[in-house]
């Protein structure tokens, strides 16, 4: 059922298929282009918006800190320039309170208070009669009583604010996160020590501003940063101070013109600033508008986050231009799509019209009218196709002659196949001869096993009885190793005669070659032979029997040395053929070479070109059997007087890995 619509579509005219396919490709490409383009345009507009918000936040932080510094300087100057000691000594506390009140009003403070050296209130600017309470719980006052001026943003309990002025406590409760039940207010506070004439500490002078409902800072930031700019009757920027996540002062206004003190900090901003103590910037909704906001923490004197300083710009400032640009981009893309669609339709009609003519001609040719010709002056590939049609009719006329020619060449092909069959029969015969040798080897192996076992046992016992420093011991240990190797060879002959599978371990042919060279290096026939190693260290491993591979390499190396009369150069090469996944080992000598009439018989059992007594004719046939049993091949190339090269190939068992020969 699922394939039926596709088959139905395939039966449609070629023009319909081309137009539909092109529309799908063009539509998908246009959708991807529009999506990516819109994302890039949006990012190009919003990234500057975020940078602007962060820049405005830095300016707001400077203005906020300036306000704190103004408070601190005023308190310090008042503490140093007011004759507190003389006024207190004369009992003129009312005049002192009036002076503090004038300073408070002039500098827009919310309270101004003097304490004695123990931190008990002596004079308040707003309520001179309330005195004697302990204010040492205020961190800035404690610092001032130790002789150090200090300013910071602090959370003061509403009970402490009520002692300064009940109206301040009510203001703090109205603007807090918990409404009227909140128990603290966000206060910018500064305190400075007051000294007697003799240099002793008289007390501390402190003053502060309750930020709940105080718009001095946020309005100053808005004037300096946004300069009263408006969009559709709304201020383009917003500045706000938060105690926790609740606004205590903001430039944002409700519909009735009042300050929007019920707004909360956006969830991500509150989680980042209040939860982790890090700045945050992003786009969030505030009341009915979306803003590009930047927030950072307000910390108290101990470094604890107690509030948020926030600035933001209307997203609409950037989104309007962005949306207009995206709309223009969409309109241009749509018009381009329509234009491409019409041009594609015209082009496909020009292509398919000649094809329909050629299809009609093809139907007449199918009916047997081989004298058909089509116009060959059509444009582009259509003209090439017309020429192909004309060529086809010529080819059909020549079909009979081609069939007769094929009949003449059939005899040659039969002869070629016959030669291949003869070659295959020769390989089968060689395999049968190897099987016969295997049966013979099985019998010989059974006879050899017993003396080999005796040699191995007696030699091992002799080695165990020798002293560690006995000079003969290394030689006997070598006898043990070679006897064990002979035992493995005999075992291999038995397994070969039984057609057992090759070994199940993966081996590195480079390592096997190196072990073989180490074993043969001490033999006299290799004393005057130069060995050149051209090995690829990255060849993969092969699945084989290590001992049997060593036997193959030993036979080939010994034959090579004997072919050079034990004097010359043997080159050993390894490489990996990635095309068919085989590991290739080549052993080339500089000997006399092999005659062409005997090269096809060198793998036959008992065939040898060596003098009597110098060879049994079994070495290469055994090597051939081992390689074949491992799924590999062995070939020889030679020319008289030019040396011989034996090439052994095995299927790779795994990916290449490095090996460095010793």
Q: The CATH number of the domain where 487 resides is what? A: 1.10.287.130
CA pair distance 335, 161, nearest whole angstrom: 69
Task: For residue 377, give the 3-state DSSP assignment.
Answer: coil
Q: Which of 51-60, 112-121, 176-185, 270-279 has the weakest average pLDDT?
A: 176-185
* Residues ≥6 apart with Cβ < 8 Å to 33: 333
> In CATH, what number is assigned to the domain containing residue 85?
3.30.450.20
Let me know if 318 is exposed, middle or buried by CB neighbors in 10 A (0-12, 13-18, 19+).
Answer: buried
595: left (phi over 0), alpha (psi -120 to 50) or beta: beta
Whether residue 603 has pLDDT greater than 70: yes
Q: Are residues 337 and 374 in the same domain?
A: no
How many C-beta neighbours within 10 Å does residue 421 have? 10
Instruction: Identify the residue with better confidence: 386 or 253.
Output: 253
Q: Provide the pLDDT confidence category of residue 47 given band limits of 50, 70 and 90.
A: confident
Q: Are residues 426 and 520 in the same domain?
A: no
Q: Are residues 408 and 436 in the same domain?
A: yes
Q: Are residues 385 and 409 in the same domain?
A: no
CA pair distance 44, 148, nearest whole angstrom: 50
CA pair distance 42, 72, nearest whole angstrom: 45
What pLDDT sits at residue 574? 94
First to last CA, the chain: 66
Angle at 21 between CA 17 and CA 23, to 5 degrees: 120
Whether residue 37 has pLDDT greater than 80: no
Task: For residue 80, give the 3-state DSSP assignment.
Answer: helix
Q: Are residues 557 and 650 in the same domain?
A: yes
Whether residue 17 has pLDDT greater than 80: no
| Domain edge (last residue) among 458, 481, 500 | 500
What pLDDT sits at residue 231? 78
DSSP-derived secondary structure letter, 501: P
What pLDDT sits at residue 380? 63
Closest CA to 643 of 571, 594, 585: 594
610-657 per-position pLDDT tens digit: 655 455 556 777 788 888 888 889 888 888 888 889 999 999 987 555
What pLDDT sits at residue 659? 44
Residue 567 in any domain: the answer is: yes
Instruction: Identify the residue with better confidence: 308 or 24.
Output: 308
Whether residue 181 has pLDDT greater than 50: no
How many C-beta neighbours within 10 Å does residue 284 have? 18
Q: Which of 66-70, 236-240, 492-496 has the weakest average pLDDT?
A: 492-496
Phi, psi of 248, deg, nearest 5:
-110, -20
What pLDDT sits at residue 144? 94
Which of 317-321, 339-343, 371-375: highest mean pLDDT? 339-343
Residue 69 in any domain: the answer is: yes
Residue 3 in any domain: the answer is: no
Q: Are residues 254 and 384 in the same domain?
A: no
198-207 per-position pLDDT tens digit: 889 999 999 9
What pLDDT sits at residue 93? 79
How many C-beta neighbours within 10 Å does residue 554 have? 18
Residue 34 in any domain: the answer is: yes
Q: Which two tokens stand for residue 348?
A: 């496909």
Q: Are residues 44 and 77 in the same domain?
A: yes
Residue 618 in any domain: the answer is: yes
Q: Are residues 173 and 295 in the same domain?
A: yes
What pLDDT sits at residue 208? 94
What pLDDT sits at residue 660? 45
Q: Provide the pLDDT confidence category of residue 413 given band limits of 50, 70 and 90.
A: confident
What pLDDT sits at residue 480? 81
| Domain edge (last residue) among 324, 342, 360 | 342
Q: Which domain holds residue 422?
A: 398-500
Cβ proximity of 573 and 585 under 8 Å: yes
What pLDDT sits at residue 142? 93
Whether residue 586 has pLDDT greater than 90: yes
The residue-averaged pLDDT of 110-135 equals 90
Q: Provide the pLDDT confidence category of residue 11 given band limits of 50, 70 and 90.
A: low
CA pair distance 56, 314, nearest whole angstrom: 13
Whether residue 94 has pLDDT greater than 80: yes
Q: Are residues 145 and 32 in the same domain?
A: yes
| Helical segments of 372-398, H only | 380-397
Per-chain mean pLDDT for the chain: 80
DSSP code per residue over 181-248: G--EEEEEEEEEEEE-TTS-EEEEEEEEEE-TT--HHHHHHHHHHTTT-EETTEESEEEEEEETTEEE
> In CATH, what number is assigned to the domain containing residue 645?
3.30.565.10
Residue 155 in any domain: the answer is: yes
Q: Are residues 476 and 386 in the same domain?
A: no
What pLDDT sits at residue 613? 46
Q: Are residues 356 and 376 in the same domain?
A: yes
Residue 4 in any domain: the answer is: no
| Domain edge (last residue) among 456, 471, 500 | 500
Number of domains making up the chain: 4
What pLDDT sits at residue 340? 76
Distances (CA, A) of 92 to 57, 75, 95, 183, 246: 46, 20, 5, 35, 43
What pLDDT sits at residue 145? 94
Residue 8 in any domain: the answer is: no
Q: Are residues 324 and 356 in the same domain?
A: no
Closest CA to 263 of 279, 276, 244: 244
How many C-beta neighbours within 10 Å does residue 538 have? 14
The residue-averaged pLDDT of 516-525 equals 81
């Amino acid at each position: 059922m699922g394939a039926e619509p596709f088959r139905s579509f395939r039966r449609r005219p070629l023009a319909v298929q081309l137009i539909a396919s092109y529309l799908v490709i063009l539509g998908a490409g246009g959708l991807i282009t529009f999506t990516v383009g819109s994302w890039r345009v949006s990012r190009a507009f919003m990234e500057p918006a975020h940078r602007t918000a962060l820049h405005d936040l830095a300016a707001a932080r400077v203005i906020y800190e300036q306000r704190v510094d103004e408070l601190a300087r005023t308190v310090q100057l008042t503490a140093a320039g007011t004759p507190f000691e003389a006024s207190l000594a004369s009992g003129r506390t009312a005049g002192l309170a009036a002076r503090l009140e004038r300073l408070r009003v002039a500098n827009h403070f919310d309270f101004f208070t003097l304490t004695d050296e123990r931190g008990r209130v002596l004079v308040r600017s707003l309520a001179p009669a309330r005195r004697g309470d302990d204010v040492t719980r205020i961190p800035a006052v404690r610092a001032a009583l130790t002789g150090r001026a200090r300013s910071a943003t602090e959370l003061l309990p509403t009970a402490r604010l009520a002692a300064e002025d009940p109206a301040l406590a009510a203001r703090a409760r109205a603007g807090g996160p918990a409404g009227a039940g909140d128990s603290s207010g966000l206060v910018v506070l500064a305190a400075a020590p007051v000294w007697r004439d003799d240099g002793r500490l008289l007390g501390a002078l402190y003053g502060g501003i309750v930020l709940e409902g105080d718009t001095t800072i946020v309005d100053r930031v808005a004037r300096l940063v946004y300069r009263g700019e408006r969009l559709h009757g709304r201020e383009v920027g917003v500045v706000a101070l938060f105690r926790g996540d609740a606004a205590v002062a903001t430039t944002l206004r409700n519909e009735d013109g009042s300050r929007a003190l019920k707004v909360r900090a956006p969830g991500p901003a509150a989680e980042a600033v209040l939860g982790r103590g890090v700045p945050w910037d992003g786009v969030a909704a505030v009341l009915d508008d979306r803003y590009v906001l930047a927030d950072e923490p307000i910390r108290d004197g101990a470094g604890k986050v107690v509030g948020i300083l926030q600035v933001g710009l209307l997203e609409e400032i950037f989104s309007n231009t962005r949306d207009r640009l995206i709309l223009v981009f969409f309109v241009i893309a749509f018009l381009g799509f329509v234009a491409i669609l019409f041009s594609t339709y015209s082009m496909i009609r020009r292509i398919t019209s000649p094809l329909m003519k050629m299809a009609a001609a093809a139907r007449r040719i199918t009916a047997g009218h081989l004298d058909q010709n089509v116009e060959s002056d059509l444009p582009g590939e259509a003209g090439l196709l017309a020429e192909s049609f004309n060529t086809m009719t010529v080819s059909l006329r020549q079909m009979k002659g081609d069939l007769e020619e094929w009949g003449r060449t059939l005899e040659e092909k039969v002869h070629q196949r016959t030669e291949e069959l003869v070659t295959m029969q020769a390989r089968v015969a060689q395999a049968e001869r190897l099987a016969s040798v295997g049966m013979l080897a099985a019998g010989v192996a059974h006879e050899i096993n017993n003396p080999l076992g005796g040699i191995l046992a007696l030699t091992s016992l002799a080695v165990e009885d020798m002293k560690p420093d006995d000079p003969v011991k290394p030689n006997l240990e070598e006898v043990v190793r070679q006897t064990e190797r002979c035992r493995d060879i005999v075992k291999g002959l038995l397994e070969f005669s039984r057609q057992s599978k090759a070994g199940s371990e993966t081996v590195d042919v480079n390592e096997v070659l190196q072990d073989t060279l180490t074993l043969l290096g001490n033999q006299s026939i290799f004393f005057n032979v130069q060995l050149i190693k051209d090995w690829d260290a990255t060849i993969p491993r092969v699945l084989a029997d290590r001992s049997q591979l060593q036997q193959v390499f030993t036979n080939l190396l010994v034959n090579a040395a004997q072919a050079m009369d034990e004097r010359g150069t043997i080159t050993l090469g390894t490489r990996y053929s990635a095309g068919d996944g085989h590991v290739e080992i080549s052993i080339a000598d500089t000997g006399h070479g092999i005659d062409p009439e005997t090269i096809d018989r060198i793998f036959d059992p008992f065939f040898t070109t060596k003098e009597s007594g110098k060879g049994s004719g079994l070495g290469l046939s055994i090597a051939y059997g081992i390689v074949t049993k491992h799924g590999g091949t062995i070939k020889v190339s030679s020319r008289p007087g030019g040396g011989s090269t034996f090439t052994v190939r095995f299927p790779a068992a795994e990916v290449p890995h490095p090996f460095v020969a010793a």
